Amino acid sequence: MAQDDVSRRSSLLKRDLLLVGIAASSLLNGIYLSPLFDPAFATLRQFAPGFFISAPLLLLYFTSLLLAAATLVVAGVPAALFERLTGRTHTDAASLGVWLAATALLAAPSLLAQLGVLD
């Protein structure tokens, strides 16, 4: 019985760490150094008056939030396809790993820009 509890806790910890990595990667892609930030900012600026967003600082925050959320959604597609193709009924560590890999792949240009490799 104690071994089952340790195994379950280990599995939950692994899932939590993968989810933290997914969230961190998506937030990394939402920062202002992302190559997608300027086009997203320009697009969002066109729609801002319709949502009563007048402060430029709020527009920057919403652009960052939009990019991070879009990264989560787009990177979730390969994970969902993986789950569907393998016949999984629940999300496990393997599908979270696919999601993390897709998120990291999308966030790679932002990371390279942060490190100064991309200008």
Mean pLDDT per 10-residue interval, the chain, length 119 residues? 77 88 93 88 88 84 94 95 92 92 94 81
Q: Is residue 4 part of a domain?
A: no
In this prediction, residue 71 carries a pLDDT of 95
In this prediction, residue 56 carries a pLDDT of 85
Q: Which residues contact 36 (CB under 8 A, 6 or more apart)?
A: 29, 67, 109
Number of domains in the chain: 1
Cα–Cα dist 65/75, whole Å: 15
Domain that holds residue 67: 15-115
Q: Is residue 108 part of a domain?
A: yes
CB 82 within 8 A of CB 95: yes
Q: Is residue 111 part of a domain?
A: yes
Q: Is residue 63 part of a domain?
A: yes
Q: Is residue 92 part of a domain?
A: yes
In this prediction, residue 78 carries a pLDDT of 96
Q: Is residue 27 part of a domain?
A: yes
Q: Is residue 89 part of a domain?
A: yes
Specify the pTM.
Answer: 0.84
Kindly report the CA angle at 20 between 14 and 26, in degrees rounded to 5? Answer: 135
